[in-house]
Amino acid sequence: MEYKDISALLTPGQRDYLLGDSDIDAGSANERATRARIRDRLTQGVGDLAILQANLESRDVEQAFDPIDFNDIEPALALILDGVSRVSKYQHGTSEGQLPDDEIKDMFAAFYAGALKSMYVKRGIEVENITVDIDIELGSNLTDVSKENLSEMPNKRLIQLWESGEIDRYEFIEALGVEEDNLNLESDGDGRR
């Protein structure tokens, strides 16, 4: 997605900070203030999305989403789901940041069902039933996986290590055994790279 030099959920300066293009010193008062403002904007932004969903006309939704790269939708949704699951751990009394798999599946299924219902009702379509079935199979901790021999790993695992920040771009490319100019990240069948 190409970002315009305007404020949205983030200001241009906050966007630069998160992308590593800022001269804000790590651990400084300026960094703490920037992070606090980003958290505040995210909190208010989620509320704003609810207001937009309830009140924005269809033509405005279509025009707003037309230029969006759909590869940006997945990480945006992941941020919301991650935030909700992290907050829910405190509500359920767990401290390790991990809810039992069945609770996570049920919670996410309820969110998706509610969101789909809201979307169709907003379009003026009656919803008689929505069934969302989520199957989550978790593997190993990626920090532990990153210590293994990268050159022997399947591409799917390498991509997850790169996306999580456990390995950098250069380690990723070296493990793939290709020249950077020849690197082509194709979809693995689920719409992701």
pLDDT digits (tens, 9 = 90+) for 132-178: 988 878 788 898 988 899 989 999 999 999 988 899 888 998 898 87
Whole-model pTM over 0.85: no
Q: What is the per-residue pLDDT for 57?
A: 92
14-48 per-position pLDDT tens digit: 999 998 889 999 999 999 999 999 999 999 999 99
CA distance linking residue 78 with residue 133, whole number of Å: 17
Ramachandran region of residue 154, left (φ > 0), alpha (ψ -120 to 50) or beta?
beta
The identity of residue 55, as a single letter, is N
